[in-house]
Chain A
Amino acid sequence: MNARLKEYNLNLDIRQVPDAITCIFHSLLLHRSTAKFHYKTETNFQLGSLGIKEVECQFIDLCYVRVNSDELAMKVDEDVRAFHAEVERSTRGRNNGVIQTQISMEFFHRRRKSSWLPLVSEGDENIPWERWNVNLIVNLNSNEDISSLRETAAEAVSDIILSLCSCINKPQYMPKMPTQKEIADVFDEQFSDVQPYLFKIIRNKGPSSTNSGVAYTMKKLMKDTLFI
């Protein structure tokens, strides 16, 4: 399994964290979503069309587009708000300084449990095929005027998004389009209007708990080797 792993670094005011993360993750999801499938036969399906919605950031001078699905937006928003709340909790009582943290979006497909290898796998296993890490340096100087930070954050985030767009169009492994039976192993079917590849948002509070690129890759490599 050659999972793609990309890391980006961002330096933000704590108020800008939700905007920046939402912008990056929605940009990823727009690439990694399809419209709902309508299967005519087991292997023959019809695709819908994806619509987009433009959103303006609150604390960054930036607009971005996302898949026009309120359900998907709500799901992302939940995770990002939880992450922001965790960061805020960890900085309680501190008026200045910086903290480092990380949040990731991982795309995976599901491997069904093999009955002849009961000891190796416990239930279905999620096999990641792409992971995007955002390493954050969060500034806690909340007294600073946000207007002076809006533009610099916009430049940094837009640079990441442009890099992401270039990267995502390079050839790489993608799960095959599934048959009707297999669709739940590849796509997230919980949304009524859109079908993203299976994904999860992974929140890490501190650098000590982050998966560094090499360690993460080695861990996955060993796991896959053992499994196969």
Chain B
Amino acid sequence: MGDSQGDFNRFVKNFSTRLIQTVVQSRLGRPTDTQCSLPADEKDWFSFKVDELGEVAAYISQSLQRFPPSIDCFTLEFLLYTASGDYLPLEEWQVSVDRDDKDLTVTMSNLYHQFGVLLRSCAIAARMTPLSRYYVKKQSSESFVVLYRILDKMGNANPSSDDYIMRQLAKLPSPYGSLSVNLFFKEKVETTPRKSSSPAPNKTSERQRPSSYSSAIPVEGSERVQATTPVSDHLHVFRGSPATPTSTDAPSSVSDQKRMDESTCSSSDEDAGPFRGPCQCHYGSGVSLPNMDDKTLSPGHRTSSSFPFAVLLSSSKCKCSLEKINSPPVEPILVEEEKRESTNSASSHSESESDEEDSSADPLASAKIFSISPSTSHVAPGSNLGEFLEQCRHAPVDGIHGVTDTPNLIKNQIDEFASHISEFDHFVKEVEERVDHD
């Protein structure tokens, strides 16, 4: 009995995370394409393949510390954030467990199968709502972007709401309560008082035709803007669609959004939680994403391809600074060290050891970060999340990108070379003598 209760809790937890991933990914505006596989991967639950986005996974772990049935309900809410600063709630997915509604005849294997069917229903239904049909592919900095947030409670929509249409996608009975997935969506766009600036009276307009937004779709692969979010504590800014705005044409009202880069996270979530596994993502439950000031970001931050785990890094850095993790030392294989070893310079070797010990304070540590990657890992950057996070944790908080430190680095290297020039000359002389002897 106890085990079955545990199974049920795991089913609901894994179903919830996959539902969120599936629905959020359907709002990317990028075609989903996952392959059938046999046998199933360990991380595949409900015989349904869901590629997890690291950003979404990190946000789930921050937003939902507990899942039904430990909590009554959670809500995945989608909103439009317009260029004029209005928030237009459009859609809610509410997942709840009614612990009093029990059906003892349902077996766990049947329930597992039903969860799989329901998950597929959610993937299908996510493409059928007005949000998906009218807005997802029309996002731009000049009109609106789609945002989402996760609440660990019931959202604003309820069956008696006049402005929402409700669809109960399922009510699955089980011996431990019935799981319900309710979809609420609006046919009309309504401006709410939740406005970041210049409050305006509520107004309701008829649903806008997609043609009114069609001119603002930027080119795929354009530079993405990462800046502070106006609602960072409560609202997770949805990133990434073909309609991602360029940094040059984005008006401040929307471009100031914090756009989160996406990355595929291969997590296996068994007993220990949804985000453990190959990637070993241990995010602090109380860690909030720090606002990333655009001015402090190097160009590397602006594209997802060059820096794919921006938010995970933020979480990691934040956690490091908050909890002062005493992590095991990295074993950097430095190009500089190799050079020094070749010259058998004991003094320079001891210098490099002291560099290692004081890496957090050394402005030259940034050079180490870049030199570690190619020598210690043959995996493409961003493909091994655990390793990446580990490296990030050891990175100094400031000076990661080393753009401003480059002159110092060159100067130090020249100084070092100058201090050892006599040894070098001696070495060259010895070699020449040996050659002459031979």
Contacts and interface: CB of A to CB of B under 8 A. Distances in A.
A38 B210 contact: no
B173 interface: yes
Contacts of B120: 30-31, 50, 52
A49 B40 contact: yes
A138 to B, nearest CB: 22
Contact of B36 (A35, A38, A61, A154): A35
A64 B121 CA distance: 11
Interface string B21-49: 00000100001111111111100100111
Interface string A1-12: 000000000000
A64 B124 contact: yes
Interface stretch (B162-170, B228-236, B249-257, B398-406): B162-170
A87 interface: no
B127 interface: yes
A62 B38 contact: no
Given A51-B36, A53-B33, A65 B47 contact: no
Contact of A54 (B31, B35, B38, B168): B31
B47 A34 contact: yes
Interface string B101-126: 00000000000001001101101110
B44 A169 contact: no
Given A49-B47, A49-B49, A51-B49, A193 B36 contact: yes
A7 B290 CA distance: 52
Contact of A165 (B35, B36, B169, B209): B169
B194 to A, nearest CB: 27
Given A30-B120, A61-B210, A165-B121, A158 B39 contact: no
A169 B121 contact: yes
Interface string A38-61: 100000001111111111100001
B32 A54 contact: yes
Task: Please report whether the interface of chain B is mostly helix, strand, loop or mixed according to DSSP.
Answer: mixed
B129 interface: yes
A194 interface: yes
B125 A165 contact: yes
Nearest to A28: B124
A65 B172 CA distance: 23
B399 to A, nearest CB: 42
B132 A63 contact: yes
B39 A46 contact: yes
Contact of B34 (A52, A158, A169): A52
B410 interface: no
B32 A53 contact: yes
B133 interface: yes
A65 B36 contact: no
A158 B128 contact: yes
A73 interface: no
Given A161-B124, A166-B168, A49 B36 contact: yes
Contacts of A194: 36
Contacts of A46: 39-40
A27 B168 CA distance: 17
Contacts of A170: 170
A35 B34 contact: no
B127 A64 contact: yes
Interface string B400-423: 000000000000000000000000
Nearest to B25: A54
A169 B173 CA distance: 11
A169 B114 contact: yes
A161 B128 contact: yes
B167 A169 contact: no
Contacts of A61: 133, 210
A118 interface: no
B127 to A, nearest CB: 5
Contacts of B209: 151
A114 B17 CA distance: 48
Nearest to B33: A53
A163 B33 CA distance: 25
Given A162-B128, A169-B114, A169-B169, A49 B37 contact: yes
Contacts of A67: 36
Nearest to A46: B39
Which of B39, B49, B121, B132 has its CB near the most chain A CB atoms (within 10 A)? B121
A69 B37 CA distance: 11
B117 A168 contact: yes
Interface of B: 26, 31-41, 44, 47-49, 114, 117-118, 120-121, 123-125, 127-129, 132-133, 167-173, 183, 209-210
18 contacts: A27-B124, A34-B47, A35-B37, A36-B38, A38-B38, A47-B47, A49-B37, A49-B48, A50-B48, A52-B120, A53-B31, A56-B31, A68-B34, A154-B133, A162-B129, A166-B169, A169-B171, A171-B173
Interface of A: 27, 30-31, 34-36, 38, 46-56, 61-65, 67-69, 151, 154-155, 158-159, 161-163, 165-166, 168-171, 193-194
Given A49-B40, A52-B123, A62-B127, 19 more contacts: A31-B117, A35-B40, A48-B38, A49-B47, A49-B48, A49-B49, A51-B37, A51-B49, A52-B33, A53-B34, A55-B31, A65-B32, A65-B124, A65-B127, A151-B209, A162-B129, A166-B170, A169-B114, A171-B173
Question: What 9 pairs between A and B have smallest CB-CB spacing?
Answer: A48-B38, A169-B170, A51-B34, A158-B128, A49-B40, A49-B44, A54-B31, A165-B121, A51-B35
